[in-house]
Structure 1
């Protein structure tokens, strides 16, 4: 098995450090120590901690299994539930200690770091758009009420999810996630009567 590159180690370790300690809670030295690489090698790969954070955000977006939303062999609402269930299982696997990188960065540095804020905004826009596509398909197939504005509903679901993630991290419990599923899927997205 090939050894991971220094760059790969730094990205992987930075994600772990940012999720566990936040952007401001860890420095370049903490990241390089945890990765087991010399601090000087960091600057061979990244111009700054901000540049690293931007790449970590991009990598993080790839790990959220966007394919779950686009698999049209699965009914739309089932796809949407599977997407959020995957995210929920990942959080539970982390024992609710890490939370969502977007929520963590959003609360910590969105006001002080314009480049990271813009990257997060773009991430949210892509996510909301993907959820909106699924909701439109669900409306066409009669799975949800056609009176819903799919874009508004998509924004609500994504941001309600982020709030539930923060609640789960604070409570160290999946209770807020269960509430998200109950309200979102059993009530709001229930098949019209």
Structure 2
């Protein structure tokens, strides 16, 4: 198996540092220390901390498995549930203190540059579009009432999830995840309580 490049090593360290500490609290030295590289080597791969953060956000986004929301081989309601279960499992695995890197960056976005704000905004738009695909299929199958606004519903689910993650982070436990399914996911989609 080929050895990962030093650039990939720096990216992995940056994703971990930005996710754990946020944008402002993660310096280039923190990232290079985590990668066990001299600080100057960072600039062999990236021109700035912002450029690195954009790549870290992109890599984090790839791990969100949004393509599963478009899988035609699985019923749309099952895809939606599995999507949020995956997010909850990921949160539980990483520890509630990390939260969602997009949500963490969004909380800092007022004091970051426009490139980072745009990257987070685009990630949210991409996520909401993927949720809308599954919700539209549910509507076409008659699993949602014909008058339901799937775009509004997708935005509501995304926002409710981010609030859930934030609450889990504050409480340092996973109980808000159960609340999300029982109090938001199932009622919004008109599903019977599990």
Q: Give TM class, smaller chain.
A: over 0.9
Hey, which bits of structure 1, 4+ residues long, moved more than 2 A?
Answer: 109-112, 183-186
- Which structure 2 residues correspond to residues 143-158 of structure 1 after superposition, within 5 A? 143-158=143-158
Corresponding position of 1:48: 48
Q: CA deviation at 1:113?
A: 1.7
**Unaligned ranges ≥5, structure 2:** none
Question: How far apart are the structure 2 equivalents of 1:91 and 1:150?
Answer: 26
Corresponding position of 1:88: 88
Structure 2 residue 107 is the aligned partner of structure 1 residue 107: yes
Q: CA deviation at 1:191?
A: 4.4
- Which structure 2 residues correspond to residues 41-190 of structure 1 after superposition, within 5 A? 41-190=41-190
Question: How far apart are the structure 2 equivalents of 1:3 and 1:22?
Answer: 28
Cα-to-partner distance string for 1:89-148 (whole Å, 9 max, x where unaligned): 000001212110111011113443211000111111111011111101001111122221
Question: How far apart are the structure 2 equivalents of 1:6 and 1:110?
Answer: 32
Question: How far apart are the structure 1 equivalents of 2:113 and 2:173?
Answer: 31
Using structure 2 for the length normalisation, give the TM-score.
0.94
- Which structure 2 residues correspond to residues 10-29 of structure 1 after superposition, within 5 A? 10-29=10-29
Mapped contact 1:100–1:165 kept (Cα < 8 A): yes
Mapped contact 1:103–1:162 kept (Cα < 8 A): yes
Using structure 1 for the length normalisation, give the TM-score.
0.95
CA RMSD of aligned residues (A): 1.4
